[in-house]
Amino acid sequence: MLACFNFDLNNCDTGYIFTCGDGSFGQLGHGNYISTCSPVQVLHFKTRHVEQIACGMRHSLIVLKGDNEDIIYGFGSGKRGQLGISDDKHKSVSTPQVTLGFENVKIRSVTANGDHSAAISSKFLSAPLYNPIQMIAGPTYLVVVASSLDGHLYVWGRSFHGAPDVYMPHRVTADLVFSQVALGWNHALVLTGDGEVYMLGRYNYNVPANAQKANMMKHISEDEGVMQRVLNFDSTKVVQIGAGAEHSAGVTDGGSVMTWGWGEHGQLGLGDTNDQTDPQLVSLCNEQSTEPCVGRVYCGSGFTFFVRMHTVKSSFV
């Protein structure tokens, strides 16, 4: 189940999808713009198995698995191009429409936030090497990452750097292989296969100080601006990332959690409400424990939580 800005999506084990909440932009997928107080099945997928779901501020994304390719559907607000269903502006659609540009591609994961969306594909089929891999959406943008052979990053929806909105998935030119992507309101974090973190866009209140050093910037193109490498991870690899409205988080291969960005609501977990321009270590686990702190970090617009996973030790006689 996913809790979105003001509506919910629920994907059952059977592959059925139910939605409820605000439907004023068609984001519930029922063919109307009516809000509901209780879950209602999305009949468009009644006879098909929904593999993944994601939701932004006013739009939803669905992934259907196939033998030869996976299909992404979008519905809800498309004003900023976050649905990826046409190169023309669509104010909103209330029935699921196919997101274009993912023919012959297997999707690993899909996500959304604000008016952004993104996806990462698991492997290429018969498609050329420029096809996308993973998908994620945010408040006002959409991002896609390729995580198999090429690991390409695709973006559509609201631009991260003041450029015009992009209505069709667009590949960002970069000589990096990406494995994960997380979306904020004005920035996207991307994780490489080598455990390095890069940021596309910027926080409204500031830009990470170290990322502004010319030798640590990854130039993309004149129309896409700069992808900045996030430093201060003490040479450790990052294995998982998260992004909130204006803050970010990462989990290292040693189990450490680090946060940075906007901290007004205490969402950085550092014991204060200060902003941080560089990643800071969060104290989470019992320092007396000899076991590593293993888990995943999740970011909301102004909050963060960490789910710790305890390993069960087994003994054999």
- Looking at the domain assignment, is residue 218 inside a domain? no
* 103 shares its domain with 189: no
**How deeply is 93 buried, as exposed, middle or buried, from its count of CB atoms within 10 A (0-12, 13-18, 19+)?**
buried
pLDDT in tens, 283-305: 876 555 556 667 899 998 899 98
Q: What percent of the chain lies above the pLDDT cut of 90?
A: 39
* CATH code for the domain in which residue 178 is found: 2.130.10.30
- Looking at the domain assignment, is residue 67 inside a domain? yes
* 115 shares its domain with 135: no
- Looking at the domain assignment, is residue 165 inside a domain? no
Domain with 36, as residue range(s), is: 1-122
CA dist 41 → 4, 10, 22, 58 (Å): 17, 9, 15, 18
The confidence score (pLDDT) of residue 2 equals: 57
- Looking at the domain assignment, is residue 214 inside a domain? no
Q: CA-based angle 97:245:52, to the nearest 5? A: 35
Q: CA-based angle 192:182:107, to the nearest 5? A: 75
pLDDT in tens, 19-41: 999 999 999 999 999 999 999 99
* 93 shares its domain with 191: no
Distance CA 78, CA 92 (A): 5
Count the domains in the chain: 2
Distance CA 178, CA 153 (A): 7
Q: Are 169 and 147 in contact (CB under 8 A)?
A: no
Instruction: Determine the distance from the C-alpha atom of residue 272 to the mean position of all C-alpha atoms in its chain, rounded to a whole number.
Output: 27
Single pTM value for the model: 0.80
* 135 shares its domain with 264: yes
